[in-house]
Each structure stands twice: as C-alpha cells, then as structure tokens.
Structure 1
Amino acid sequence: MRRPMRAMILAAGLGTGLRPLSYQRPKALFPVANRPVIEFVIRLLKRHGFNDLVINMHYLPNKIVEYLGDGSVLEIKIDYSFEEELLGTAGALRKVRKYLEEGTFLVINCDVLTDVDLSGALEFHRERQALATLILIEVEDPSSYGMIGVDDRGRIGSFLGRSEVALKYAVYGGICFLEPEIFELIPPGRSGLGDVVFPGLLREERPFFGYLAPAPPTGGEGYWLDVGTLERYRQANWDILEGRFKAVAPLHRRGGQVHPSAQINEPVIIGPGSVVGEGAEIGPLTILGRNCSIGKSAVVGRSILWDGVRVGDGARVDECIVGDGAVIRDDCGLNRKVYAKT
C-alpha cells in the first residue's frame, strides 16, 4: 500500500510584517477574498495529492485549530505541532521528524498564494535524484528578495549570492521538496533552512536543485505571491478580484443584503450576513467580510474590511484595510489606513 503524500505547512511565525492586523489573527488566517490564505495552500496541496499534512504553530495556535480542525471538512488529514518557543524553519522539521522521514516530503510556507505545478516540480525532483529541490520563481528584480543561481540542469550553484556556474537567477518561492536524509544536516535546537540547511547542501556539494516555475506575479502562465507584508496582502486580494489569480478555492462574491439604491462598482465581494445600506457606494476593488454593516450614504472603495466591521452613515473609507470588529463612526473619513481594533 502506497503511503500518503505528506507535507508540512510552516505557520508558526509572528506575522510582524502584517502588524497591526496580526495582533488579531495569525498570518495563516489572514482572509484573501474572505478565505484564510492557508486554505488556498491546503487546497493546492490536495489537488496535487498531498492529503496528509502537519502544521507547526506558535502564535495564536487555537485560532488555527478552531478553523481547520482535523481537516475532514477539506477532506484531508491534519496534525499539529505546537512550538512553545520558535524553532526556526529547520528546527520545526526536526521536531516532527518521525512524521516526515518515511519518504519524500514537501514543505511550504502558510502565506504563499500560488498555483505552481507541484506535480511537475516533484517529477523534476525525482528525475534529478535530488536531496532537496526548491521551487524558484523568476521575478524582474531578484536582488530585492535574495538571489539563487542555477545551471542549465537546475542545479543550485549559489544561495543568496552570485556564482560563476549560475546561468540564471531566481528567488525561493517558499516551497521545497526534501528527502529524509536532510535531517542529517539539521542540528538540535533552533535553526533555519535558509541559514543552516541550504548553505550546508552547497558546502557539502549534495544534490541540491531548483525547479524554475513559470509563475511570477509579473508574467508567466501561473501565479505566485508571498503575502507576508501589508502591501502584498492587499495586492493578493486585488489580484483575485481582477482575475490575475484563478483561485483554487471557491469564491462567494455575493452574500448578505444590498439596498436597492446602493451602488456596487465591480469588482466587489460581499460576505455572508453583511448589510449595505440605502444610498451606499461600494467598490471598486473592495471586499466586505462576514457580518459587516455599511451605513446610509457611506462610501467604501479599494478597501478590505474583515468580519464584523461597522461603517457609519456618511462615512468614507478609501484604500484601507480594516480589521475584525472595527467601528468607523458616522461621517468619518479614513484614507490609506490600516486599522485594527485591539
């Protein structure tokens, strides 16, 4: 009997690049088109045959467990690894070694929004008999991320630097395939893949490859975006609204009640239980979470409102991200702000 394909989702981070919103939710649960970003990750994994998952947690772990449970709603199996102290991306793997060491496994960050061909990358990994294969993304300016150089077979010749053997440079997409032998390179305690394990593979000249995925946000056939900053988080939502990312999770564009006199300027998503009042104007590029209330003659445009936000009569909200349960008073103006009720 063939063992299930296993993957680990790294979700223990504090989400510092997403503050103040990450004071309310762990980054894994940041809503993209009203679905937590980790759900997009899980659905991608499931589509490529990864049905047995482990998720590491540290910050606000109960919220993640409350939402995902044992995975049965998404028809997959989920186990959890709680880290009382952050162990780093490599230390997190070492902690669940017994779970992963039976064969090839995948590791993916919880905040990567992508439709990269994981099956193609796995085939590449096996053909090269690699110990580690990173999914690499070609972007216009890799120097802003940290460059990884590969030769004509995809073998990595430099990690976060330049090399004479590299013919092409790309960036690490937050996804990799690893073999159980990788645990030989992970020391006890806290350690990272990027600062300990990957440089160790280069140093020891182990079979270390990069799969170049045609999925940058600026071109190619697919899509990839790390939503670990507020700017990129906003962009992820807009990319779905404008059809640049064909979501692997079903989208519900209309829920709740919209007054007949309200004006909806597409593209817009209105979550279940939300109410848009008389004469209000919503959109474009706007997402209302669940149970939001938009008052009479209020205007909300180019904004993302999380669950339970109340916008008062005559208020204006433009180019904002507003966290759970926030209240915007009558006739108040909010422009280019990130606001979280703490």
Structure 2
Amino acid sequence: MRPVRGLILAAGLGTRLAPLTTGLPKPLFPVLNYPIIVHVIERMRAHGIVDLAINIHHLGAEIEEYLGSGERLGVNITWFREKELLGTGGILRRSAEFWQDSTLVVTAGDMLSTLDLTDLVAFHRRHDGLATVGTFLHGWPLEEFGGDVAVPRPGSTVVSEYQPKPGREARSRHAATGVWAFEPGVVTHLPQATVFDLNKDFLPPFAATGLLHAYTADHEFDDFGQAEGYVDGTALALEGKLGVRPREPEVAPGLFISPTAVIGAGVTLEAPVVIGPATVVEDGSRIEGPTVIGGGCVVEAGAIISNSVLLPGVRVARGQLVARALLGDSFRTVPAIREHHLPC
C-alpha cells in the first residue's frame, strides 16, 4: 500500500486580510493564540500523515524559520519556495517528485476542519479514481456558501461536473471544503502550464474523465483567510467545533488565561475568553466572549471588547469599544493600528 503524504498550501499573499498581512504571513496568524498552520500540521500528524510538503512565497522565510524541519512538531517538512506564485494547481506539478510513490492529501494552510482524513484516504483508496474532493451537503440556497461545488452522477460518488463558485447556478448541494486526495497518476492529467489553479483550471475539465470522486461527510470547517471568517471561526473554535482548544490554562469554566497575564481590579470576563501571555487588562474593563486576546496586548481601563480577536501586541485605548472586530498591530512594518470591523 502506498504511503500517505501531505501538502499544505501556504504560499498565498493574504490579500483578503491586508494590511494585517503586510508584516505577518497568513499561515502564522494565531487561532486561539497558536499559529493556524501548526493546528493544520497537528491535525495531519493525528491522522498519521507525518511527511509533509509546504509551499511558501509571501514572507515565506518567516514561516520556514518558525517551523524549521518540523521535528519539534513530530513531522518531516519539505519546503517548496516559490519565487513566483504557481497557483494551487501548479504546486502539484512542482512537487510531483515528493509524492511520486504516495497518496497525497492536500489542504489549505488557512483553514481548520474536522473532516476525518483517515476516512477520506480509505474512501479514496476504495475507488478507482485518481482524485477525491472532500465535500459536505450544504442547504439551499447554495449561493450563501460561496465556494466550489461537485456534481456527482446520480447514485454514485463519481463527479460528473465540478463548478468553481457557481452561486445560484449550482447543480448540486455537494460543497467542496478545501481538502483533496490524489494518486500519482493524476500528474499526467495536469495542465502543461507552470501556473494554474486547482479549482478553476484543473478540476472542471478533469471531472469529464470520470476519475474524480466526491467524499461527502458531515463536518465543521472554517476559512480563516478573511476577516469575517476569522472572527466566526474563532467562535467555532472556542465552542470546540473545529477540533482545537486553547493552550492557556482554564482558570474558570470557559476562561483560559495565561499565568503571565495581568488582570486588573473590577474586570468583567464573560466566557468564552482566551487571554494570552504578558497581556495586561486594566481596571474596570469588560471582555465579552467569544473573544481571544493575543500575547503582549494592553486593554486600557474601562475598555469593552466583545466577540473579537486581538492579534499579539494590540493596545486598546481607555474606554474604547471593540465589537465584532479583528484587530492587529503594526507587526513591525505598518505604522498604525489596523482594524477589520464586521457587520453585527
């Protein structure tokens, strides 16, 4: 039986989170105060996938420096450094030698999911196809999902049509969730172009071969690649729905506070709340969950923070209200505090 290897897509520019990504690459953005790509790696490892490839481009040296060889996380990382972006499909061809004798599981580096990777691979191997896309059944109207759709043949898992972001034109409820499995033979079907997109350029024509299957399972997932998804995904994570949990100790039900955080007098904390190391919450402040405050933050006296995420190093001014927001500091390169406020 072929070994299983993993590919984590981490080369994007992070434009949907700009300007927060000017100085910090998106895969290192924290979810529950831990880099999202670490959560992704740990999920791979939990399913026995320890030989990983990661492609990098924007601020890639920071990602590589942080993760290194992967040894401290119990995995082996092979790095693919892209001088120019190859696209989510181009990296499949570029990395072909890495997985030439393996089943390859591919996932995005800015997404958390509870999809069972072990079961996905088992399903993939029970069929004669070369590729499998992970899906779930979305309710109508499907345009609310906004993602890609696989259209299986009636009574079959074989995908007859793959629709990139079809919106109201969707012909199936099988919504793709950013996880795939491939056999090495799929490389001969890839476009000859160096740069191409997996969902737009490869899977739609490939579906005509009958070699693409849809693995459908009920699971939770969230894309942390844009501000609204980041805040909503953090809430899901705090509810325990994304398979991750805070690393800070739970000092009271739903309150996870670092031992080095300083909580002032008269502070109100409404769970679930996570407060990172070396953060100071001054007197009379109010923190309403679901909220995560990163390390090294300062919440000045009387401030109110509700349903928000504060990235490391943020200072919230005295008496300021921060509601349903993703708030980040300069990350050393942008001079002012940046905010993404979302509709309530």
Task: Please report the TM-score for the alignment, with normalisation by the length of structure 2.
Answer: 0.86
SS at match of 2:228: helix
SS at match of 1:98: coil
Letter in 1 for 2:123: F
Structure 2 matches for 1:296-307, cutoff 5 A? Answer: 296-307=301-312
Aligned to 2:300: 295
Structure 2: which 5+ residue stretches go unaligned? 250-255, 332-337
Q: Flag the 1:311–1:195 CA change in 2: closer, same or farther, 3 A.
A: closer
Aligned to 1:329: none
Q: Give the Cα–Cα distance (whole angstroms) in 2 for the partners of residues 202 and 286 of structure 1.
A: 42
Q: Give the Cα–Cα distance (whole angstroms) in 2 for the partners of residues 167 and 189 of structure 1.
A: 31
Q: Aligned pairs, how many?
A: 319
**Identity score, percent:** 31
Aligned to 1:36: 35
Q: Is the 8 A contact 1:150 1:169 kept in 2?
A: no
SS at match of 2:257: coil
Q: CA deviation at 1:319?
A: 2.2
Aligned to 2:137: 138
Aligned to 2:238: 241
Q: Give the Cα–Cα distance (whole angstroms) in 1 for the partners of residues 285 and 172 of structure 2.
A: 51
Alignment partner of 2:203 out of 194, 198, 206: 198
Q: Higher mean Cα deviation, 254-263 or 7-16? A: 254-263
Aligned to 2:186: 182
Aligned to 1:159: 162
Letter in 1 for 2:181: F
Q: Is the 8 A contact 2:326 2:339 kept in 1?
A: no
Q: Give the Cα–Cα distance (whole angstroms) in 1 for the partners of residues 275 and 228 of structure 2.
A: 22
SS at match of 1:9: strand
Q: Give the Cα–Cα distance (whole angstroms) in 2 for the partners of residues 248 and 46 of structure 1.
A: 16
Q: CA deviation at 1:335?
A: 9.3
Q: CA deviation at 1:251?
A: 5.5
Q: CA deviation at 1:23?
A: 2.0
Q: Give the Cα–Cα distance (whole angstroms) in 1 for the partners of residues 196 and 330 of structure 2.
A: 37
Q: CA deviation at 1:77?
A: 0.9
Letter in 2 for 1:246: G
Could you say what the CA RMSD is over the residues aligned between the two structures, in angstroms? 2.4
Structure 2 matches for 1:1-342, cutoff 5 A? Answer: 5-140=4-139, 141-143=141-143, 144-151=146-153, 152-160=155-163, 168-186=172-190, 187-203=192-208, 205-215=209-219, 223-247=220-244, 250=247, 252=249, 253-255=256-258, 256-325=261-330, 337=341
Q: Is the 8 A contact 1:270 1:288 kept in 2?
A: yes
Q: Flag the 1:70–1:3 CA change in 2: closer, same or farther, 3 A.
A: farther
Aligned to 1:330: none
Q: Is the 8 A contact 1:272 1:291 kept in 2?
A: yes
SS at match of 1:290: coil
Letter in 1 for 2:131: A
Q: CA deviation at 1:142?
A: 3.1
Q: Give the Cα–Cα distance (whole angstroms) in 1 for the partners of residues 157 and 56 of structure 2.
A: 32
Q: CA deviation at 1:157?
A: 1.2
Q: CA deviation at 1:230?
A: 1.2
Q: Give the Cα–Cα distance (whole angstroms) in 2 for the partners of residues 335 and 96 of structure 1.
A: 37
Runs of 4+ deviating beyond 6 Å: none
Q: Is the 8 A contact 1:115 1:248 kept in 2?
A: no
Q: Flag the 1:245–1:62 CA change in 2: closer, same or farther, 3 A.
A: same
Q: Flag the 1:21–1:137 CA change in 2: closer, same or farther, 3 A.
A: farther
Q: Give the Cα–Cα distance (whole angstroms) in 2 for the partners of residues 105 and 21 of structure 1.
A: 32
Q: Flag the 1:248–1:184 CA change in 2: closer, same or farther, 3 A.
A: farther
Task: Please report the TM-score for the alignment, with normalisation by the length of structure 1.
Answer: 0.86
Q: Flag the 1:336–1:78 CA change in 2: closer, same or farther, 3 A.
A: closer
SS at match of 2:289: coil
